[in-house]
Structure 1
Amino acid sequence: MLSRKQSQEPIQKSPIQRFLFVLGIVFFLMYFILGLTIIFWDQIPLTLSYNGRLAMGTLLIAYSFFRFIRLWQNR
């Protein structure tokens, strides 16, 4: 007998789980794009030096990957 993990039929996710998965992907992309925007946009309306923009953008990109890893593990 095959257990549920070994069966050939994947278990269908509920609509709430699918929605939360898509929402997690959207927020991953949002943080990633925001980090890139802060790093590369010279006319950003924040008074930050280049090093400050680089640090803030890098932290946002790292946080986006942290969220993606957590999302993937919960899947």
Structure 2
Amino acid sequence: MPLNFNKEQKSPKRRFLFILGAVTFVCFVVLGLMIMFWDQLPLQLPRYQRLLFGAFVIAYSILRFSRLFKKDQYED
């Protein structure tokens, strides 16, 4: 399914939600990388569980970021 970018300008609400979603995406990716590679983070997990948990957090952030581009059927 190709992305259908509208030539119309986004409403201030959509623009704010996009920026908020992008900031959230970056924060979750950084959190996932911290869980995976920062050894001094106080988590009592074995190395493979830290890698799995960090990968899960990063995958979740990608899923949430991809949902930003989905067109809401009830929107104008």
Name the TM-score, length of structure 2 as normaliser. 0.79
Consecutive unaligned residues of structure 1, counting only runs of 5 or more, are none
Partner of 1:35: 32
Q: What number of residue pairs does the alignment pair up?
A: 68
Which contiguous aligned blocks of 4+ residues in structure 1 show a shift greater than 2 angstroms? 72-75
The structural deviation recorded for 1:12 is 1.7
**C-alpha separation between the residues in 1 aligned to 2:30 and 2:42?**
16
Partner of 1:23: 20
**C-alpha separation between the residues in 2 aligned to 1:12 and 1:61?**
30
**C-alpha separation between the residues in 1 aligned to 2:22 and 2:69?**
10
Consecutive unaligned residues of structure 2, counting only runs of 5 or more, are none
Q: RMSD between aligned alpha carbons?
A: 2.0
**C-alpha separation between the residues in 2 aligned to 1:50 and 1:15?**
44
Identity of aligned residues (%): 50
The structure number with the bigger radius of gyration is: 1
**C-alpha separation between the residues in 2 aligned to 1:50 and 1:42?**
9
**C-alpha separation between the residues in 1 aligned to 2:33 and 2:65?**
16
